[in-house]
Structure 1
Amino acid sequence: MNIDTKSPAIILQDGRDKALNRRHPWLFSNAIKQVINTPNRGDTVEVYSSSGQWLARAAYSPSSQIRARIWTFQQDEAIDVAFFSRRLSRAWALRQSLFDQSTDGIRLIAAESDGLPGITIDKYADVLVLQLVSAGADAQRKNLLAALIQLFPSHSIYERSDVDVRKKEGLKPVTGWLAAEREHGEVLIKEHGMTLLVDVIQGHKTGFYLDQRASRAAVKRLASGARVLNCFSYTGTFAVAALQGGASEVINADMSELALSTASRNAELNQLDLSKLTNVKADVFKLLRQYHEQGELFDIIILDPPKFAESKSQLMGACRGYKDINRLAMQLVKPGGLLFTFSCSGLMEDSLFQKVVADAALDANRDCLFIEKLQQDSDHPVASFFPEGYYLKGLVCKIW
């Protein structure tokens, strides 16, 4: 064995190096035979095969089932400011090639897919929002921040590391300004001819759902003359897209008063006819049943619910939830109308989601034609070695 006994290291069980040889960035606890020099949470460790071959350099997480996340497969690559500068610069160059200046709300770093496991960074105009969900990412905050400031010296930087998944890594929530502090978290972004308000402090996730950019464009393209029901509307960006596309009426439905208030502000920012927009604070499942009893019908219904499955054990329950809500929605679509339906549950595979929607159509006694598939936009890339990076699935359904 050629193991450096001075540095923290992991030795794998025999035969457990196959995933790493395919460049998958996760090491699970049951793949590890021995831990040398007891690394602390987030420490960088060397990873060796059972025969002592150096494989990778990773971040150690003693509390998580994902015991280590790979930073690099290059033995001469240190995990320092220069490392983060290289990964950030590569990711930014890709985004610049994908989007012009008419769109300035962009996912800069999509975690593992951009070679930075546990790190998400969204760029809203001149505000960067950082979310660190792994022990290694948390431990490298200073290096990452230094690299970000080098690349974007005039930007404000806010941290939104307040998601529940940090608990699995033994981490507490962290939020706050890291650079160029501002009095509030509101920022305006541009997207396909829309001006949209993002609140990086109070908003969901990092403040906004950039992954639905292409879906909003699809709604805009198909909404002419339509009466639209926008379920789980959040800040009403699908509504703005529909109204810009010529919708005759849009109803936003959401449980959050703050989100619905922002939805009105988004309509105002785009100088839309507010008489065509109604905001309804309601539980969507109950509202759909109520509308069915009242005989309401819509030309387009948009279903963009929160994640229904956080783990494999929740997947069957999620299928029942998706089936129920799609059945309810289909009953409210006029014959010949459209249903835009989405799942952001990464565990819900394409084929399974399509089957669930097909089963919902049978239960609703409606014919359903899948006319278009939608997914996360191109600033949320999926690395060939990390299929888990693909999570957002959408179907545009013609309902008869």
Structure 2
Amino acid sequence: MSTAVVYVKKGEGRALKEGGLWIFDNEIEKIEGEVEEGAVVRVHDFDGYPLGLGFLNRNSKITVRMMTRKADAVIDEAFLRMRVRNAWEYRKKTVDTKSCRVIFGEADFLPGIVIDKFSDVLVVQSLALGIDKMKPVILKVLKEILAEDGIIIRGIYERSDAKVRNLEGMERVKGFIGDAFDTKVEVEENGVKYIVDVAEGQKTGFFLDQKYNRKAIQGLCKGARVLDCFTHTGSFALNAAIAGAESVLGVDASETGILQAEENARLNGVEQLAKFQCADVFDLLPKLEAEGERYDVVILDPPAFTKSRASVKNATKGYREINMRGLKLVKDGGYLATCSCSHFMTPELFAETIRQAAKSAHKRLRQVEYRTQSADHPILWAAEESYYLKFYIFQVCDEKY
């Protein structure tokens, strides 16, 4: 471990001192000592007070990511094993661990790394230089900890191909870690089976964060006519189908996603009930409205319309438009499930956007419930970026109801 010390400017580091894990470049007064990028450094306040240990990367605006507040800690294999064990023990108590997110970066005090478990396969996404150097040890100890519970991992695939690695001065990486294996993995969630393509699927292959939100719509869908927008590989649509929906239409602009959704429907024996269409949702919904189509349940699970504060205004227009169009397709007394997975779309802004959409659609909303990401994606209150998924279920009534 480097003996270099990073000093925080006087009056800066407010988020850090409230429990956050990031120190930005403009918060740093000076760095004492020689240190290579990605190395662990000590962090002191402007007056020399020790604030803990983190890893440094001067190529990134997030210059230091904190690993611990204990100034006397040693970041070694034993330390990483403790962090990984804590993460796994937490999952065992809070979620179904057959498939789950085992490590969720900052929220598990392992900043910059995400590891998903799909049955007996691990998918890792490493987004920061310092944690990338620790990745081999983290994966080693994780496999050992899982083996203690009788879980033998047959393969690891890396999906460190996100653009954000470029901001760290790192190349984007994708491929096997260790021996090659069949990258199409069968998993089961809420009684629904899926084929997860860890090599070619979006992000790590499957969106585990919606696990219990998908389950939450099952009761609404029995005997219902259901429209699932941005269906990806059919997850909400299939939950509706196995719950006993009368009919299900899943829509997505990705032909690859639709083909996978159809394969998943066959896997669950609901291919006659759940149909899928490759189309742009923004184009399709006005057409369905004009044709007089109406549904008992409409589900809106769009991708993040904004990944920065700069584009929030345009994203808000997109969310307002899609919710207005979705609401117009809900029968009187039917239900709308709608969500945003963008951290920059705050809960307050998302709620206001839905309110505006309902006004434009001449609909009245009765909130059934508000949900967020599943517990294997824990929200660290001091790290606001860890809270990103907002999920509402509403009953929809005509304005004159």
Superposition TM-score, scaled by structure 1 size: 0.94
What CA deviation, in whole Å up to 9, does each residue of 1:343-388 have, x standing for no partner? Answer: 0010111121111001001111122222211210111111232232
- Contact 1:82-1:147 at 8 Å conserved across structures: no
Separation (CA, whole Å) in 2 of partners of 1:231 and 1:38: 53
The letter for the 2-side match of 1:263 is A
Which residue does the alignment assign to 2:71? 75
Structure 1 stretch displaced more, 369-378 or 75-84: 75-84
Structure 1 stretch displaced more, 320-329 or 167-176: 167-176
- Contact 2:231-2:252 at 8 Å conserved across structures: yes
Separation (CA, whole Å) in 1 of partners of 2:111 and 2:52: 14
Is 1:293 the counterpart of 2:259 in the alignment? no
Which residue does the alignment assign to 1:13? 9
The letter for the 1-side match of 2:356 is D
What CA deviation, in whole Å up to 9, does each residue of 1:191-244 have, x standing for no partner? Answer: 121222111101111100000011110111210111111111001011110011
Which residue does the alignment assign to 1:146? 140
- Contact 1:308-1:318 at 8 Å conserved across structures: yes
The letter for the 2-side match of 1:261 is L
Q: Please show how residues 51-130 of structure 1 align to structure 2 within 5 Å.
A: 51-100=47-96, 104-130=98-124
Separation (CA, whole Å) in 2 of partners of 1:211 and 1:328: 25
What are the ranges of 5 or more consecutive residues in structure 2 without an aligned counterpart?
Answer: none
- Percent identity for Structure 1 against Structure 2: 37
| DSSP 3-state at the match of 2:37 | coil
- Contact 1:160-1:174 at 8 Å conserved across structures: yes
Match of 1:399 among 377, 396, 401: 396
CA change 1:104–1:149 in 2 (3 A) is closer
| DSSP 3-state at the match of 1:373 | strand
What CA deviation, in whole Å up to 9, does each residue of 1:309-331 have, x standing for no partner? Answer: 11111111111110011111111
Separation (CA, whole Å) in 1 of partners of 2:71 and 2:137: 19
Separation (CA, whole Å) in 1 of partners of 2:344 and 2:318: 14
User: How far 1:142 sits from its partner (Å)?
Assistant: 2.5
Is 1:246 the counterpart of 2:240 in the alignment? no
| DSSP 3-state at the match of 1:24 | coil
Separation (CA, whole Å) in 2 of partners of 1:301 and 1:324: 14
Separation (CA, whole Å) in 2 of partners of 1:58 and 1:300: 47
Q: Please show how residues 151-230 of structure 1 align to structure 2 within 5 Å.
A: 151-152=145-146, 154-155=152-153, 156-182=155-181, 184-230=182-228
- Contact 1:81-1:146 at 8 Å conserved across structures: no
User: How far 1:150 sits from its partner (Å)?
Assistant: 2.5
| DSSP 3-state at the match of 2:359 | helix
Superposition TM-score, scaled by structure 2 size: 0.94
Separation (CA, whole Å) in 2 of partners of 1:124 and 1:115: 22
- Contact 1:80-1:143 at 8 Å conserved across structures: no
The letter for the 2-side match of 1:26 is W
Which residue does the alignment assign to 1:374? 371
What are the ranges of 5 or more consecutive residues in structure 1 without an aligned counterpart?
Answer: none
Separation (CA, whole Å) in 2 of partners of 1:158 and 1:77: 31
Match of 2:22 among 26, 42, 48: 26
User: How far 1:76 sits from its partner (Å)?
Assistant: 2.6
- Contact 2:95-2:375 at 8 Å conserved across structures: no
Pairs aligned (count): 392
| DSSP 3-state at the match of 1:140 | helix
